[in-house]
Amino acid sequence: MPEATAAKRPTDTLNMRWAITQALDEELERDERVCLLGQDIGRSGGVFGLTRGLWDRYGGERVRDAPISEEGLANLAVGAAINGMRPVLEIMFMDFMALVVDALANQAAKTRYLSGGAIGVPLVVRTLGGAGFRIGAHHEQSLEAWFTHVPGLKVIQPSTPADAKGLLKAAIRDEDPVVFVETKSLLGDKGPIPAAGEVLPIGKADVKRGGGDATIVATGRMVGESLRAAELLARDGISVEVVDPRTLLPLDTETILTSVAKTGNVVIVHEAPKLSGFGAEIAATIAEECLYELDAPVRRLGGAWAPIPLGRAEQFLFPSADSIASTVRELVEG
């Protein structure tokens, strides 16, 4: 049981990997209805080590290794949730979420509505998205926008260990299905975490950095790139506010619109391709709600419209601190 002990050791700072493990540990301990399902999550602790020690602590009934059958697992998880459990299903790579769309979009998301509010589906589907591991076209996509189009789902994408822990706990306690996107490239990032029992609100954005000249709205890995871009711009006297939605569905439009109204300039950045990416929804909301507060058109940055190549070439597909800073500079300097 040494791994579980390590996961629960009191600390002010953890990397995102351990923050996720700690959230799962605390919720398994708090509520006996919580159970984990997924491939290789048991004795081995998962491909990315996100369930290390939990099998030893809670046993194979509640931390259940499963065969390679994402569609079957998703339907099993929906049924378990309807029947009183609170399953947390791990889909190893976001690319494989295509196999669970029917269970999520056509069953879990609609059950409360079709039952007249009588039946909830308290299900969390955790999945690892984004590039950074150089493992190619079938394992590094960012597909979060797929699920923001489905009424009845919630979609969360944290960018820090604190957000990962606090929002995962909130997702597990929620009465409706949640897609929880963990960005692979951020698993090693360290930062302060919430105390045991502390839960962050779903649907509340976070202003990661204050500023007055321009707003950057960024998600996932691009939050860190945007913060680095803000540092570069500060050397030129350009003050940038960085807003992290954290929850894509429901979206905290109030925080975003307040920032845009203050700065008059906005750049939206995400790792997914720009075309039909979630940034388009944010841009449309800004256009509808505060168009006349803008000093320049909304700008969007996203991944290239191409499959992700294997190896180092992937780095050329995505926005960087330099490209984000350059875009903001163009807006502000006109």
Catalytic site positions = 139
| Helix extents (H) in the chain | 2-8, 16-30, 54-58, 70-82, 101, 109-114, 144-147, 161-173, 221-234, 253-263, 278-290, 321-333
The Cα–Cα gap between 26 and 197 comes to 8
Give backbone dihedrals phi and psi of 317, rounded to 5 degrees, phi first: -90, -15
Strand order in the sheet with 86-91: 63-65, 34-38, 86-91, 124-129, 178-183, 154-156, 247-249
d(CA 188, CA 46): 15
Instruction: Report the C-alpha gap between 124 and 131 in whole angstroms.
Output: 22
Amino acid of residue 233 = L
HSE-up (13 A, CA, CB side) for residue 227? 13
Q: Are 178 and 156 in contact (CB under 8 A)?
A: yes
Residue at 123: amino acid letter:
L
Do 53 and 21 contact (CB within 8 A), yes or no? yes
